[in-house]
Structure 1
Amino acid sequence: MAISFEKAFGLHQQGMLVRAKRAEVIASNIANADTPGYKAKGMNFQEAMQQATLKQQGGIARTHEKHFDIKSSIQAEVEYRVPNQPDTGDGNTVDVQVERNLYLENSLEYQASVQFLTGKIKGLKKAITGAQG
């Protein structure tokens, strides 16, 4: 009986890809906090996970060998974030404290997914090898 890693790992592997992309967007905001005219960006995690769910369920199929296999990539839409603070005069909408909090939250959720997948892999390894402990 073959082991299906997609079934074993569920959406956690896709969630990690979405969280990695989200970390890039947030880090870009922090890096550009002092750039005049820079507009803070963000992505909707729930929408990105819905797209990942549809892709995992086979919502988009590759019909020709020359078509791109988009199941393996996350096509999360990055949008401009509505600023929480008034314009400081330079047109920059990045609130560094908000971005740092979002980055920390995203990092903790990413780490939780890593720990979950590590446990799943250990369980699969134990099932395959029959090893104790």
Structure 2
Amino acid sequence: MSDTLFGIHGAALELRSQRMGQLASNIANAGTPGYKAKDIDFATALAARTSGASEDKAISTATRYRVPVMPSLDGNTVEMATEQTAFAENAVGYSATLSFIKGRVETITRAIKGD
């Protein structure tokens, strides 16, 4: 029902949430030797999700390892500036998607109440 009620925005919110978790994990592991930073290509994941793939399948299809600009000696590929920028960009997208859903809920609520 949420697919028809919220359209693409429900899936987008789920994917943005998963991406935020991945980016937060990258940031948390910035000092872990050998940690390989990953990111979720949002456009690829959303395309997979809207074509019928499950959320897990869409995420696994769209997850990519980051290629560092300056590799570290300990093998860690987290670059804080890259991660923070991606996190901020994703947070803005998450907020916008949430606003679309909130607007849809308000519209449906008004329709039900007859306002």
- List runs of 5+ in structure 1 lacking aligned partners: 61-69
- Are positions 1:98 and 2:70 aligned together? no
Q: Which structure has the larger Rg over C-alpha atoms?
A: 1
In the alignment, what sits opposite 2:104? 120
Q: Following the alignment from structure 2 to structure 1, what is the Cα–Cα distance between the partners of residues 72 and 41?
A: 26
Larger fraction in helix? 2
- Are positions 1:83 and 2:33 aligned together? no
In the alignment, what sits opposite 1:130? 114
Report how far residue 90 of structure 1 moved: 0.8
Q: Following the alignment from structure 1 to structure 2, what is the Cα–Cα distance between the partners of residues 107 and 9?
A: 19
Normalised to the residue count of structure 2, the TM-score between the two structures is: 0.89
CA contact (8 A) 2:2 2:10 kept: no
Report how far residue 26 of structure 1 moved: 0.4
Report how far residue 38 of structure 1 moved: 0.8
Identical pairs, percent:
37
Q: Following the alignment from structure 1 to structure 2, what is the Cα–Cα distance between the partners of residues 52 and 8?
A: 16
State the one-letter code of the partner of 1:81: R
Normalised to the residue count of structure 1, the TM-score between the two structures is: 0.78
Report how far residue 105 of structure 1 moved: 0.7
CA contact (8 A) 1:18 1:74 kept: no
User: How many residues get paired?
Assistant: 112
Q: Following the alignment from structure 2 to structure 1, what is the Cα–Cα distance between the partners of residues 65 and 3?
A: 32
- List runs of 5+ in structure 2 lacking aligned partners: none
Runs of 4+, deviation exceeding 2 Å: 4-8
